[in-house]
Amino acid sequence: MARKKSDQLTDGEQGIMEILWERGESSVKDIAQALPADKPAAYTTVQTMCKILAEKGYADYRKEGRAFIYRARISRTEARQSALKSLLNRFFGSSPELLAQHLIRETDIDLKDLEALQRKIDETD
């Protein structure tokens, strides 16, 4: 049985979106060339991943001659919000409190960072 397609970004798709957010519009060729040297991808692989990004709603494209020019359809902030919502739903029962407790317990967050976070929380009240 085929698995359900995820609406979330894979690592490769994330890399392409970072390029689109940084550069704006880019051709598949330009995206392939802009990928980090330690994570190169063939032109056809980048082309396929760009098509998937368009299907998922993360990118739009237009045709310019024979080239496809892609651009981000959603902002980096919107992508973060979507990923965080998915993470909260899947692993923390939709509870931001449980996520915060986990981060405090499992990361090397120091007292200064916690105090800065508390100030931001206080400012939103």
Cα(53)–Cα(31) distance, integer angstroms = 13
Q: What is d(CA 59, CA 74) in angstroms, rounded to the nearest whole number?
A: 7
Q: What is the pLDDT of residue 62?
A: 97
Q: How far is CA 109 from CA 43, 101, 112, in A?
A: 40, 11, 8
The pTM is what? Answer: 0.81
pLDDT of residue 3: 61
| pLDDT at residue 39, as a whole number | 86
Please list the pLDDT of the chain residue by residue as tens digits (125 residues).
666 677 889 999 999 999 999 999 999 999 999 999 888 899 999 999 999 999 999 999 999 999 999 999 999 999 999 999 999 999 999 999 999 889 888 988 888 988 998 898 899 86
pLDDT at 113: 87
User: Residue 17 belongs to what H/E stretch?
Assistant: helix 11-23
pLDDT at residue 114, as a whole number: 85
Q: Distance between CA 77 and CA 21 in Å, rounded?
A: 11
Domain ranges of the chain: 1-91, 94-125
Q: In the prediction, which pLDDT does 79 show? A: 94
Q: Which residue has the tokens 């899947």?
A: 90
Residue 78: what pLDDT? 95
Domain spanning 1-91, CATH class: mainly alpha
**Strand intervals (E) in the chain:** 26-27, 59-64, 67-72
